[in-house]
Structure 1
């Protein structure tokens, strides 16, 4: 059978299996095994266990559970509330400062936790009631938190970037650096829209807030600065050549646990057990998907699907930006239905040879892909963040939350366009810190 036609059959079968309700990892294994048996014979299954476990034989994977523990220890404390309160106290006199402080808290907390739902829950529980009480429109209050929660998969340290690095054999350090400036760009765009929307609402209450003394502003900093220092320390150790990403993740996880125990009195063994239990569950889920995606990639390569698609794309007489536009549409649609980790692991083996053949930088593309995944987190029908916000504020309808999040989707699209015109936004910092790379 023609490999391109076979690739279309694989795509249709994969979508059907994943929509049947089975887990992503099991679904990938079912599709891989089925096509290998039909087109390559039963003997091809002999290699599946070796590929499955061999994909996990990578020291860089150790950083994933470590960063997850780092985030879980933060999410299990009042760190999110303290972070929100600290920014509120310092930005209280800024017009529309409360929504700005919420977005800033989302950016910092999501960077520390690496979890979009955890960020929405931690900051939303404090921020949404406060914004509504002070006259902010429900759409702005809910939409800003939903969008702010997505920043964790772009701003380092990011588990999504680690997965992309492993899937494409790209430097995790360069990927982390590539996400810094685009992450700050997105935060700025979010804040700009939020200030405009609150100004447009014309509510005087929105522009007024409680005043705090200098003593009140400084007294909360000791509870927040240690977590910020850990992020800075992790990044410094990684880029200063002191330790590998896995080693810095392990130290960061230990330090976050210690701070949670010392500052937030997380001494109860039952609470610590919950942190470790939840971290283990999430880590196993991600690692299982990575292993299954390795088998899926082997199937695509063994049946010459990946090579044929890349060769076919190379023969197309089409502008490379038209090609990139088509890839973005594909990523958007995939992100609407699947979690970011699954999309990256399934799409990277196919897309990487295509983008490199077209002359695009894989580091730059990682940022474009990640922003597309952020859009999926606040877009229906799956839109996980929308449902988290609805759970926090059930009296705000999903329609209102979606309406409030759409302008932030537009901000992300603007960021993608800016990155296309100015790719140096993603590539300059990695080249400046680590030297010109791939």
Structure 2
């Protein structure tokens, strides 16, 4: 059978299996095993365990559970509440400042936790009721938190960037640096839209009759400063040549747990057990998907599907930017239905040869891919962040949350366009810190 036609059958089968309700990892193993047996015989099943465990035999993978523990320790404390309160105290008298403080808290918390749902839950529980109380529209209150929660997969340290680096054998350090300026750009776009929509609705003058003294503004800072210093320390250790990403993640996880115990009195054994239990569950889920994606990639390669697709793309006489537009549409659609980790592991090994052959930078493409995945987090039908916000504020209709998040989707599209015109936004910092890529 023609490999391209076979690839179409694999794509259809994968979609049907994943929509059946099975987990992503199990679905990938089922599809891979089925096609290998049909076209390569039962002997190919003997290689599947070796391929799966071989994919997991990577020292860099240790950074994933470590960063997850780091985020879980933060998410289990009042760090989110303190971040929110600190920014609220400093911006309370600024017209429209509350929505800005919420987005700032989302950016900082997502950078510390790396989890979009955790960020939405931690900041949304305080931010949404307060914004509604002060007259902000429900769409702005809900949409800003839903969008702010997506920043965790772009701003370092990002688990999805680690997964991309492992899947494509790209420098994780460069990927982390590549996400910094685009992440800040997205925060700026989100804030600009939020202030505009607040001004347009006439709510800029909605202020609480509360003022904070300088003492009250500064006394909250010591509670959040240690976590921010840990993030700065983690990034310095990686880019200063002090330690590898895995070693840095381990130290960062330990420090976050220690600080959570000292500052937030997380002494209870049950609370610590919850942190380790939840971290283990999430780590195993991601690692299982990575192993299954390795088997899936092996199947595509064994049946010459990957090579044929790359060769076919190479024969097309199309403008590289037309090709990039088609890739973005594909990523958007995939992100609507699948979690970011699954899309990266399934698509990146196939798309990377196509992208590089068209002359695009793989580090730059990682940022483009990640922003597409952010759009999926606040877009139906899956839109995980939308449902998290709906759980926090059930009286706000899902339709209203979606309406509030759509302008932020537009902000992300604008960010992708800016990155296409000015790729240096993503590539300048990695090249400046680590030198030009070889």
Measured against the shorter chain, the TM-score band is over 0.9
Aligned to 1:190: 190
* Contact map agreement 2:95 2:205 (CA 8 A) in 1: no
Aligned to 1:321: 321
Aligned-partner Cα distance in 1 for 2:199–2:207: 8
Measure how far apart 1:94 and its partner are.
2.0
Aligned to 2:426: 426
Measure how far apart 1:46 and its partner are.
1.4
Deviations 1:218-261 (A, max 9, x none): 01001000000000000000000000000000000000000000
The range that moved more, 43-52 or 265-274, is 43-52
Could you list the runs of 5+ residues in structure 1 that have no partner in the other structure?
Answer: none
Aligned-partner Cα distance in 1 for 2:186–2:171: 23
* Contact map agreement 2:96 2:204 (CA 8 A) in 1: no
Aligned to 1:170: 170
* Contact map agreement 1:92 1:209 (CA 8 A) in 2: no
Deviations 1:189-246 (A, max 9, x none): 0000000000001125435663211011001001000000000000000000000000
The range that moved more, 197-206 or 37-46, is 197-206
TM-score computed with the length of structure 1 as normaliser: 0.99
Aligned-partner Cα distance in 2 for 1:408–1:95: 20
Aligned-partner Cα distance in 1 for 2:352–2:9: 21
Specify whether residues 321 and 268 from structure 1 end up closer, same or farther in structure 2 by C-alpha distance, changes over 3 A only.
same
TM-score computed with the length of structure 2 as normaliser: 0.99
Describe how 1:99-138 pairs up with structure 2 within 5 A: 99-138=99-138
Aligned-partner Cα distance in 2 for 1:126–1:205: 21
What count of residue pairs does the alignment treat as equivalent?
438
SS at match of 1:135: coil
Answer yes or no: is 1:143 the counterpart of 2:143.
yes
* Contact map agreement 1:134 1:205 (CA 8 A) in 2: no
The range that moved more, 40-49 or 289-298, is 40-49
Aligned to 1:211: 211
* Contact map agreement 2:32 2:296 (CA 8 A) in 1: yes
Describe how 1:79-90 pairs up with structure 2 within 5 A: 79-90=79-90
Aligned-partner Cα distance in 2 for 1:431–1:207: 44
Aligned to 1:35: 35
Deviations 1:298-345 (A, max 9, x none): 000000000000000010011110100000000000000000000000
Measure how far apart 1:91 and its partner are.
1.4
Aligned-partner Cα distance in 2 for 1:436–1:252: 28
Aligned to 1:392: 392
Answer yes or no: is 1:274 the counterpart of 2:274.
yes
* Contact map agreement 1:67 1:252 (CA 8 A) in 2: yes
Describe how 1:342-353 pairs up with structure 2 within 5 A: 342-353=342-353
Aligned-partner Cα distance in 1 for 2:248–2:92: 35
* Contact map agreement 2:92 2:207 (CA 8 A) in 1: no
